[in-house]
Amino acid sequence: MPQARPESALAPSRELAARFEAYSDWRRRLSSGISALHEWLAQQDLADAQIDVKVQRLLERLHQDKLVVAFVAEFSRGKSELINAIFFADFGQRLLPSSAGRTTMCPTELLYDASRAPAIRLLPIETRLKDATVAEFKNYADEWVTIPLDLSNADRMSEALSRVSQVKRVPVALARKYGLYEDEDFLSALETEGEGAVDIPCWRHAVINFPHPLLQQGLVILDTPGLNAIGTEPELTLNLLPNAHAVLFILAADAGVTKTDLDVWNRHLAGEDPATRAGRIVILNKIDGLWDELKTEAEVDAEIDRQVRSSAQMLGVPPAQVFAVTAQKALLAKVNGDDALLAKSRLPVLEDALSRKLIPAKRDIVGAATQAEVKALAVGVRALLDARQNGIAEQAMELRALRGKNQDVVEHMMDRVRQEKDLFERGLQRFTALRTVFAQQTNELFDVVGLDALRTNASRTRRHIESSPFTKGVRDAMSEFFATIRRDFDEAARRSAEIHDMMLAMYARFAKEQGLERYTPAPFSMLKYQKEIDRLERAYNQHFNTLWNMVSKAKFALMRRFFETIASRVKHVYDIENRDLDSWLKAVMSPLETQVKEHHLQLRRRLDSIKRIHRASGELEERLSELKQQEEALNAQVRALAREVVAIDAIIQSPDAMPQAANA
């Protein structure tokens, strides 16, 4: 367990922890606001299956919301040391292995999943021979080696964590088969003794499940190995890094910006659009190397400043995005409770920037998305309530007109309602026919962009790659893979527009014929998924040549794995798109279903009350007062709904309550 230490030394990361705690607290409050709305809807009999699914999804998203921060750099720049200094100084020692030379040999995720015991899980490097991605392996516990973490013993913990730097000696041919061995670069830099054997990482990926307060609240830290290791694991380049909320790129003051630093930056981080670039934070580490007792403090600061500016210029980012620190001295300072050294390490400035930038930005995005969904939900419920109100008003009007009238008039009226009901029931047949067409069109739509279509496309691509394993063959196969997806997406856009048109016409028709509320469903847009596919294709194009040239002999193993990673990312896009399409189809159809059901009910009620009045004229006033009560109850529901939505809005807008406990 963390040892006691002077209060002040911990202040800066407490700030980060406090902000994170406040953010989690906000998510919890937001979740309970949404649950309250859902409960109220259920109580009032206003929730249907579609609403249940929407709320469930919203809550899940809020619950699982993660904030991923990746640390990327060439080896030995101090990534692991920086993670130790920011997050694990409380343990009073270096937790993640950090040493000269290559240390972290596999991508390492630090997170907390309460459903599992604290442990480090390691995916053996041998899994590179199989055509599956790390993300897929995550679903199979038996593929991983799990070492439990003893939280009460820092030494044993750090020993368990040292596994991320394990290497083993294998024949060169095998390393090539894993897609690891390259003649000039990566592995030759590891000590090789004797011909034909080479040291390779023991593990392909590590996940550390560890109940650190920040991780418990949804922070995920991603530590990565240096340049070439990044390049050989497509999972990193295509999935983990693009999806990180922030990427910290680390330089070392003693090395300056080297060619390999620039390679890492340009290949994996630079990004084309300024927005991506803005999410990058550059760290100039090891500034203690510039400390010099023979110079004045001002001189040293000027030198650091000069390095910050020149690094910023080389990377094409504003100098304000570059933070000069020394991770090692910061860790030392925190462990010893040395305030002066901690300030001098400048780590607090970085921590402050992290907590100020990252969390509010994330909160804004989550808040806006939640607000939009709650609003859409409320609009649907409100439409139903409006329809009920109109029905009651109509009935009351009808009945009031009967006051003092004789039986004939009542009979006449009953006939009229009966006719209306007949007309409606004929309309129902059309509605049933529409539903059949709708189901047919929906099936056709899923034929075009369902998972089966993707599976067929992927197997065809795999076959093509294998049958023509030359640059052009692979390139053509891949282009065709993306082109097919694009064609399918265009086709899906066309078909969903057709469905939309049909439903618009149907709503208009029902509104006209049956006097139902006119409703205009939103169209479905494929743009989001198209953009994601474009991004994957760009990433593929960017990495293709690099990979092709880099891994001369192992290229086929690597190419296949590279394709599998792309295919699994594309599948992810399809999963989301299919899910969204499914909810869209429900959202387009279910208001009409509800309207029709509701209208049917109202007609029956009208007929019933006129029948009752026909039997006994005393029923009229009684029935009218019943209607009055129903109207009042409905008005109360409308007001309550508005209150529930306002309450959720208030939570979304509420300022962060920085919890006292975190500062105590």
Interface residues toward ligand GTP, by CB under 6 A: 73, 75-81, 98-100, 102-104, 225-226, 285-286, 288-289, 326-329
Q: In this complex, which beta carbon is closest to ligand GTP, that of residue 248 or of residue 506? A: 248
Closest CA to 321 of 281, 262, 272: 281
Least distance in angstroms from the C-beta of 212 to Mg ion: 18
Q: In this complex, which beta carbon is closest to ligand GTP, that of residue 226 or of residue 242? A: 226
Least distance in angstroms from the C-beta of 104 to Mg ion: 3
Both tokens assigned to 420: 């209306």
Least distance in angstroms from the C-beta of 224 to Mg ion: 8
Q: In this complex, which beta carbon is closest to ligand GTP, that of residue 204 or of residue 599? A: 204
Does 514 sit near Mg ion (CB under 5 A)? Answer: no
Residue 289 binds which one of ligand GTP, Mg ion, none, with CB within 5 to 8 A depending on kind? ligand GTP
Site string for Mg ion, 83-122 (x = CB under 5 A): --------------------xx------------------
Which long-range contacts does 383-388 make (Cβ < 8 Å, 24+ apart)? 383/517, 383/519, 383/591, 384/46, 384/594, 384/598, 385/46, 385/634, 385/637, 385/638, 385/641, 386/517, 387/516, 387/517, 387/595, 387/598, 387/599, 388/598, 388/602, 388/634
Q: In this complex, which beta carbon is closest to ligand GTP, that of residue 224 or of residue 609? A: 224
Q: In this complex, which beta carbon is closest to ligand GTP, that of residue 327 or of residue 573? A: 327
Q: Which residue has the tokens 């409606």?
A: 424
Size of the site for Mg ion (CB under 5 A): 4
Residue 14 binds which one of Mg ion, ligand GTP, none, with CB within 5 to 8 A depending on kind? none
Residues 587 and 57: beta-carbon distance below 8 Å: no
Residues 659 and 25: beta-carbon distance below 8 Å: yes
3-state DSSP assignment of residue 132: coil
Residue 530 binds which one of Mg ion, ligand GTP, none, with CB within 5 to 8 A depending on kind? none
Does 285 sit near Mg ion (CB under 5 A)? Answer: no
Q: In this complex, which beta carbon is closest to Mg ion, that of residue 103 or of residue 328? A: 103
Q: What is the 3-state secondary structure (H, E, C) of 43-85?
A: HCCCCCHHHHHHHHHHHHHHHHCCEEEEEECCCCCCHHHHHHH
Structural element, H or E, at residue 249: strand 246-252
Least distance in angstroms from the C-beta of 101 to ligand GTP: 7
Least distance in angstroms from the C-beta of 181 to ligand GTP: 19
Both tokens assigned to 528: 């989001």
Q: In this complex, which beta carbon is closest to ligand GTP, that of residue 24 or of residue 80? A: 80
Closest CA to 283 of 252, 330, 323: 323
108: exposed, middle or buried (Cβ count in 10 Å: 0-12, 13-18, 19+): buried
Q: In this complex, which beta carbon is closest to ligand GTP, that of residue 347 or of residue 641? A: 347
Residue type, 343: A
Helices 347-402, 619-653: axis angle to 10 degrees equals 170
Least distance in angstroms from the C-beta of 103 to Mg ion: 4
Q: In this complex, which beta carbon is closest to ligand GTP, that of residue 205 or of residue 555? A: 205
DSSP code for 256: B
Least distance in angstroms from the C-beta of 144 to ligand GTP: 21
Least distance in angstroms from the C-beta of 138 to ligand GTP: 22
Q: In this complex, which beta carbon is closest to ligand GTP, that of residue 163 or of residue 177? A: 163
Least distance in angstroms from the C-beta of 101 to Mg ion: 10
Least distance in angstroms from the C-beta of 350 to ligand GTP: 12
Closest CA to 69 of 31, 20, 115: 20
Residue 442 binds which one of Mg ion, ligand GTP, none, with CB within 5 to 8 A depending on kind? none
Q: In this complex, which beta carbon is closest to ligand GTP, that of residue 162 or of residue 389? A: 162
Buried b (16+ CB within 10 A) or exposed e, 14-23: bbbbbbbbbb
Site string for Mg ion, 24-63 (x = CB under 5 A): ----------------------------------------
Task: Give CA–CA dist 303/294, Å, rounded.
Answer: 14
Neighbours of 268 (CB within 10 A): 23
Least distance in angstroms from the C-beta of 241 to ligand GTP: 15
Does 311 sit near Mg ion (CB under 5 A)? Answer: no
Q: In this complex, which beta carbon is closest to ligand GTP, that of residue 332 or of residue 493? A: 332
Q: Which residue has the tokens 């409006």?
A: 386
CA distances, 346 to each of 84, 247, 538, 554 (Å): 15, 19, 38, 44
Q: In this complex, which beta carbon is closest to ligand GTP, that of residue 206 or of residue 465? A: 206
Q: In this complex, which beta carbon is closest to Mg ion, that of residue 74 or of residue 143? A: 74
CA atoms within 13 A on the CB side of 407: 3
Query: Which residue stretch of 79-87, 110-118, 264-272, 455-463 sits at the interface with Mg ion (rule: CB under 5 A)?
Result: 79-87
Least distance in angstroms from the C-beta of 157 to ligand GTP: 17
Residue 81 binds which one of Mg ion, ligand GTP, none, with CB within 5 to 8 A depending on kind? ligand GTP
479: exposed, middle or buried (Cβ count in 10 Å: 0-12, 13-18, 19+): middle
Residue 555 binds which one of ligand GTP, Mg ion, none, with CB within 5 to 8 A depending on kind? none
Q: What is the DSSP string of 161-217?
A: HGGGG-EEEEEHHHHHHTT---SSSHHHHS---STTEEEEESEEEEEEE---HHHHT
Least distance in angstroms from the C-beta of 69 to ligand GTP: 15
Residues 196 and 171: beta-carbon distance below 8 Å: yes
Residues 123 and 134: beta-carbon distance below 8 Å: yes
Least distance in angstroms from the C-beta of 74 to ligand GTP: 7
Task: Give CA–CA dist 369/376, Å, rounded.
Answer: 11
3-state DSSP assignment of residue 480: helix
Task: Give CA–CA dist 584/575, Å, rounded.
Answer: 14
Binding site for Mg ion (CB under 5 A): 79-80, 103-104
